[in-house]
Chains A and B, each alone.
Chain A
Amino acid sequence: MKEGDALAPFVVENLTRTDLVRYAGASGDFNPIHHDETFAKMAGQPSVFGHGMLTAAFVGQCVTRAVGVANLRRLKVRFATRVWPGDTITCTGKVTRAYEADGERRIDGEVVATNQKGEVAVSGTFTAADPG
């Protein structure tokens, strides 16, 4: 891959409360703000909202689809706005640099998850061995 190459978009349509419950169970993150509507409303939120690390995993999938998980060397994400049930999350990215390091060809890139309003939910950067 070379500088400027785009990663194929990865889209999750209509995130559901069930998706959040499934992630809570799989990850072990049972903070009630992500699954208990009554708790979330008492905490001043309009509803439950998504785990940041679930959106981070979508961002990770956008990268690993392009490079292969075995080639991933580093992934860094920054949490911006929250993700709500009903949201459609689109992950896109591109290669920002190609170089040699530690005896292999490497690429750096940036990746972002946005909601249907175009707001950034999670932004990130990655480093991978060049899959070719």
Chain B
Amino acid sequence: MEIDREQLGVWGAPLTMRVEYGKIREFARAIKDPDAAYQGDAAVAPPTFLMTIAHWAEGGMSGTRAVKFDYRRLLHGEQEFEYVRPIRPGDVLQARSRVKDAYEKPGKRGGKMAFAIQETEYTNQRGEVVAYSRSTLIETEGPVQA
């Protein structure tokens, strides 16, 4: 992993995600969650729904300029969500990301492991922060093993 210290903490350009009822229903069904909270006129998004923005926003997530990964050796180690306000169908979310921290340390089986904490802030159409997500990405020395 190459780390550009100058870029650590710098927010990337925001991406837009329009939250649709059908997408919430599809997602709730895929995660096998029949909760009435994800249905009907007062539906909200399930807790891990925000992961979809990483795949649906055009051009992928921003804010990774601080680190250059070798994707063949990249693991998703941890994922954290902080919930501030409900996310509902019709919301137009802006997501901006930054690499909050990046560091290397010795691996358990020799070699070194590199860690990057990527934080994304989600804001709705009223300018209110609705959530934060934080991903811990781990680059291993050798190929990824199960």
Q: Which residues of A contact B (CB under 8 A)?
A: 12, 19, 22-23, 25-30, 45, 49, 52-54, 56-58, 60-61, 63-65, 68-70, 72-79, 81-82
Specify which of A54, A60, A63, A70 is in contact with B37 (CB 8 Å cutoff). Answer: A70
State in angstroms the CA–CA spacing of A56 and B26 once bound together. 17
CB distance from A33 to the nearest CB of B (A): 10
Specify which of A69, A76, A79 is in contact with B46 (CB 8 Å cutoff). Answer: A69
Specify which of B29, B33, B38, B83 is in contact with A22 (CB 8 Å cutoff). Answer: B29
Question: Is B128 among interface residues, defined by CB-CB distance under 8 A?
Answer: no
State in angstroms the CA–CA spacing of A108 and B30 once bound together. 27
| CB pairs A–B below 8 angstroms (13 shown) | A25-B26, A25-B30, A26-B26, A26-B29, A27-B27, A45-B146, A57-B47, A58-B32, A64-B47, A70-B44, A76-B81, A79-B76, A81-B146
Specify which of B33, B35, B54, B79 is in contact with A56 (CB 8 Å cutoff). Answer: B79
Q: Which residues of B contact A (CB under 8 A)?
A: 23, 26-27, 29-33, 35, 37-38, 44, 46-48, 51-52, 54-56, 75-83, 86, 146
Report whether B80 and A74 are in contact in the complex, using a CB–CB cutoff of 8 Å: yes
Residue of A with least CB distance to B75: A79
CB distance from B132 to the nearest CB of A (A): 9
Report whether A26 and B27 are in contact in the complex, using a CB–CB cutoff of 8 Å: yes
Specify which of B38, B47, B52, B75 is in contact with A27 (CB 8 Å cutoff). Answer: B52
State in angstroms the CA–CA spacing of A19 and B54 once bound together. 20
Report whether A61 and B33 are in contact in the complex, using a CB–CB cutoff of 8 Å: yes
B contact patch SS: mixed
Residue of B with least CB distance to A126: B47
Report whether A61 and B146 are in contact in the complex, using a CB–CB cutoff of 8 Å: no
Q: Known contacts A26-B29, A70-B37, A70-B86: does B78 contact A60 (CB below 8 Å)?
A: no
Q: Which residues of A contact B81 (CB under 8 A)?
A: 74-76
State in angstroms the CA–CA spacing of A30 and B60 once bound together. 13
Residue of A with least CB distance to B146: A82
Report whether A69 and B52 are in contact in the complex, using a CB–CB cutoff of 8 Å: no
Report whether B76 and A75 are in contact in the complex, using a CB–CB cutoff of 8 Å: no
Report whether B30 and A27 are in contact in the complex, using a CB–CB cutoff of 8 Å: yes
Report whether B51 and A73 are in contact in the complex, using a CB–CB cutoff of 8 Å: no
State in angstroms the CA–CA spacing of A54 and B81 once bound together. 15
State in angstroms the CA–CA spacing of A43 and B33 once bound together. 31
